[in-house]
Every structure is written in C-alpha cells, then in structure tokens.
Structure 1
Amino acid sequence: MTWKTMPEGSVIPNAGNSKEYKTGNWLPTHLHFNDETCIDCGLCWAVCPDDAIILDEAGHMTGIDYDHCKDCGLCVEICPTVEKSLYFVEKANPKI
C-alpha cells in the first residue's frame, strides 16, 4: 500500500491548534529568556513549532508566549550563545 492507494481519513472541521487554545500551561518546567546574552540571530524563532517566540517589529526577541510554548527544547538546542539565552527552570507550582 502507498499513500496514493490509502483510503481517505476523516476531516475535522475547525480543528484546534495552539493559536486558538492555550496549550503550554501544564508543564513542570518554564522556558526562561535572558535578553542580556541574546544576539538576535532569530534561530529560536525559526525552529519553534508553536510560534511561541515573540519578536518585535525590528526582529529582536522580546520574550516567550508561555500560553503556547510546550518546552520542546528546540530553541534551547539551536541557541548559539556560549551562555544560553534560552534555558529551562523548574516551575514553583506546575499545573499537572
């Protein structure tokens, strides 16, 4: 069987996505942004699958949209600064 011969699946009209629903508040960790070490390379923004990196009009990172960040760690891994500009800290009261 190939993808061309597979039967069609169902379609979910108005499927939810992370833009419509807050999906990041259940995590036990919290992504932290250090603006003093950030070099504004934009790599974190480019790899974020949830569009949770906030940039200003000039393209400078200003923060993280915690309602949508799922702590996948892609931004942390790609951050090129010696002292990481993005890193995880433990939440005091996670909503698990």
Structure 2
Amino acid sequence: MKCVTLVRFTPKEKRPSVEYKKFLDGIMHVYAGAEGLRHKYFTVSDSGEAIGIYEWTSRALAEGFFNDDWDRMMQGMATRHALEYLTVRAELDNDAGGFEFYG
C-alpha cells in the first residue's frame, strides 16, 4: 500500500534562494533513484519549519530509506527532526483523471 512520509525539521541555517538551490543540488543524489520514491516535495511553513513530503510505493521501502545514514545526515542539517508515516487509503489524481481506493 502507498505511503506518504512527513519529515519536519528546523534547519541549522537559513539560506537565501540561490544558496538553497546549490544546497539541494548537493543532496539530490540521496533522493534521486531511491527505490519506491515517487515524489518528494521540499516545503517550508510560514514559521520557518522545513517539511519534506515524500510519496512512496510502499511503507517497507520508505522504512528502508530512513536508516541510520539518513538520520546522521539530518542531524548535520537540523537542530531537530521528526519522521511520520502515513498510510494512503485513497487517492484522487486530477492529472490522470482518476480515483483509487486502496482500503
């Protein structure tokens, strides 16, 4: 069953847009080609909290990705971080024009 994960964290440093793009270019290899990862959104709340939103083909693949190496990477980037797994029960895809119920 599909899974969405939310990673909430407070960055150790705030970066202007140009620096943030360079930073993302430097870490993109961690996410590009990750097995089961369909989409990843890099977002920020109005309060400045960074929130990574990941869409996975399964929870098992998500759990395999968020390992000790990933945790160490986050400790280097954030003053704190929290990971939450969400089971996708249904999905509306306006681009494809369809609705899926997963149970």
TM category, shorter: 0.3 to 0.5
Larger gyration radius, structure 1 or structure 2: 1
TM-score by length of 2: 0.33
Query: Greater strand percent: which structure?
Result: 2
Q: TM-score, normalised by structure 1?
A: 0.35
